[in-house]
Amino acid sequence: MNDRIAQIDAIVAQFDINNHPFYQEWAAGTLPNAKLQDYAGEYGRFIGTIARGWETIGEPAIAEEERDHEVLWGDFRYELGLKAESRRAQTDVLVNAATQYFGEPAEALGALYAFEAQQPRTSEAKLEGLKTHYKEITDKGREYFRIHAADFAEPEMLRAKMAEMTDSDFARTKSACTVVCAAMWSALDGVYYAD
């Protein structure tokens, strides 16, 4: 199992979204509110796909929690000020990849891991950035990030499931993880570099 986890964690590390300039500026408080608004709308489209992945791997209770988390994301978006979604091409790629990979268990594991393995650290950094630099966002608007900053159980559950897979299934898991990690990075590019 340790070799598999090392392999999949190496994929995630290549696309560590905490290193993306978008999140770097968020943490520093230099990201304009308009970019946060755009992000909240765009990334919310991806957040809306997560429950399906958990259903596919046989975890309906977690899928239901993720549906509740969509509401929390909506609270964050609302506090930033609702803005029409721009429907960026990069976000479309991410949503399409997630939708595709969340349809099959081995691939769903990899696609979920791309997101869930990074969730605690990114949520902690985003939460601190909101508290320190974007003080107009209330506790209600920060709740999504507070919950996910402490959520280490989900990535651990995914790792345990990977240990039980065949080698051919694990190869598909790694492939899905790579594609979704790259698509998450690209979706951030789409918001960060937009005019």
Q: Is 70 exposed, middle or buried (0-12, 13-18, 19+ CB in 10 A)?
A: middle
Helix H, strand E, coil C: the string for the chain is CHHHHHHHHHHHHHCCHHHCHHHHHHHHCCCCHHHHHHHHHHHHHHHCCHHHHHHHCCCHHHHHHHHHHHHHHHHHHHHHCCCCCCCCHHHHHHHHHHHHHCCCHHHHHHHHHHHHCCHHHHHHHHHHHHHHHCCCCCHHHHHHHHHHHCCCHHHHHHHHHHHCCCHHHHHHHHHHHHHHHHHHHHHHHHHHCCC
Residues 6 or more apart whose Cβ sits within 8 Å of residue 192 = 20, 21, 22, 25, 35
Q: What crossing angle do the helices spanning 167-192 and 89-101 adopt, rounded to 10°?
A: 160
pLDDT of residue 84 exceeding 80: no
Confidence of residue 195 (pLDDT cuts 50, 70, 90): confident
pLDDT in tens, 133-153: 999 999 999 999 999 999 999
Report the pLDDT value the prediction gives residue 86, as an integer from 0 to 100. 73
Report the pLDDT value the prediction gives residue 82, as an integer from 0 to 100. 74
pLDDT in tens, 90-144: 999 999 999 999 999 999 999 999 999 999 999 999 999 999 999 999 999 999 9
pLDDT in tens, 165-176: 999 999 999 999
Taken in order of first residue, the domains within the chain and their CATH numbers are: 2-192 (1.20.910.10)
Report the pLDDT value the prediction gives residue 174, as an integer from 0 to 100. 99
pLDDT in tens, 35-83: 999 999 999 999 999 999 999 999 999 999 999 999 999 999 999 987 6
Instruction: Return d(Cα 174, Cα 24) in angstroms, integer.
Output: 27
Give Cα 139 distance to the centre of its chain: 20
> Model-level pTM?
0.96
Query: Pick from 33, 35, 65, 43: which is nearest to 137 by CA?
Result: 33
Report the pLDDT value the prediction gives residue 129, as an integer from 0 to 100. 97
Confidence of residue 1 (pLDDT cuts 50, 70, 90): low
pLDDT of residue 85 exceeding 80: no
Report the pLDDT value the prediction gives residue 186, as an integer from 0 to 100. 99
Instruction: Return d(Cα 135, Cα 137) in angstroms, integer.
Output: 5
pLDDT of residue 178 exceeding 90: yes
